[in-house]
Amino acid sequence: MTDTRSSAKPRLSVLVPTPLLITEITEPAAYRNRSPHESDVHMHPGGQGLWVARMAGSLGADVSVNGPFGGELGALIRSMLDGLGMQVNAVRYGYGNGGYVYDLRGDDRETVAHMPPPELSRHELDDLYGTAFVDALASDVLTVTGSEPGDVVPASFFGRLIRDTRDAGTTVVADLSGAPALAAVDAHVDVLKISHEEVRDLDLAPDDTPESLVAAGRALVERGAGAVVVSRAKDPALLVEHDAVREVSAPSITPLDHRGAGDSMTAGISVGLARGLDLVDAVALGASAGALNVARRGLGTGNRTTIEKFARQITVRTVS
């Protein structure tokens, strides 16, 4: 693949419908024998959109976050994002943001508490649309991520924002599932990144075989998407365009935490396109970011130099 480093600093606008506060309880890094209940507590800004934004920042992009912020958790999330040097275009959120508390002291991640955010009101949706649209017009790429839970923002919101942004001349990358993913396709999104599980959930493929997933990708391209990237966990991703299907493979890495690989991949694709790379090289950069993220503690984090060097080891093979 071509050189992934550029002297220009790309500008990325990220739609973050549900910024979350993530609290993690872990074994203490240093045992001080003060109490049998001693643990470490870590707090992070999180949720899909913020993980995408963090990785994009790690890759050298100038990142702006557009989302609703309110309540106790919203103020804390905003403060953390300010500390990371991110531009935050905040929309007032009357009820307030949600969050998770995870216990990581055992073999599996245990959810101790979950406070889901409520649906955005019609006025909050209007404010979010206007803020995100105007910011996208000043950016090289708009990256659209979904809400969690899915009912916070209606699918029609994503379709309208994507259609209007593309009509104004800004490239749009979407990482969506369910009805919002189909709305993005109908709005002719430039690139849709979707996992193989999400393809199955939409009843677009009867199984996880490459043949079924390629057929689903082709159907989405025929419906309106410029290109579809199907991530497949540890298996090679599939890049489906009008005139070609490619398999994108990374060297095997033993994961520390498999979560966040897809979000990091989306960030890499978005930053690559914002730098002016062609789609194949942008997807290779995304595959590198996703593969290396699973070898780290901390979702959406990475080292730009390492990711760009590893991108040269990504294999892209035309299969049809």
225-262 per-position pLDDT tens digit: 999 999 998 899 999 999 999 999 998 776 656 665 89
Q: In what order do the strands lie in the sheet with 235-240?
A: 87-92, 62-69, 11-15, 141-145, 171-175, 191-195, 227-232, 235-240, 245-249, 315-318
Q: What is the pLDDT of residue 85?
A: 86
CA 265 to chain centre: 7
Q: What is the pLDDT of residue 287?
A: 94
Q: How far apart are CA 9 and CA 264, in angstroms?
A: 18
Mean pLDDT of the chain: 92
Bridge partners of 230? Answer: 194, 238
Neighbouring residues of 222: CB distance < 8 A, sequence distance ≥ 6: none
Q: Where are the beta strands (DSSP E) in the chain?
A: 11-15, 20-26, 40-46, 62-69, 87-92, 98-103, 110-115, 141-145, 171-175, 191-195, 227-232, 235-240, 245-249, 315-318
Only one residue has tokens 């070609």, namely 244
Q: What is the pLDDT of residue 5?
A: 47
CATH fold of 11-319, please?
A: UDP-N-acetylmuramoyl-L-alanine:D-glutamate ligase (3.40.1190)
Q: When comparing pLDDT for 50 and 258, which is higher?
A: 50
Q: How far apart are CA 288 and CA 292, in angstroms?
A: 6
36 has pLDDT over 80: no
Q: What is the pLDDT of residue 278?
A: 97
Q: What is the pLDDT of residue 299?
A: 54
Amino acid of residue 11: R
Q: What is the β-pairing status of strands 62-69 and 227-232?
A: unpaired
Neighbouring residues of 19: CB distance < 8 A, sequence distance ≥ 6: 45, 46, 47, 49, 50, 65, 67, 68, 69, 74, 77, 97
Q: How far apart are CA 147 and CA 49, in angstroms?
A: 9
Q: Exposed/middle/buried for 311, CB within 10 Å: 0-12, 13-18, 19+?
A: buried
> What tens digit of pLDDT does each residue of 113-142 get?
999 999 999 999 999 999 999 999 999 999
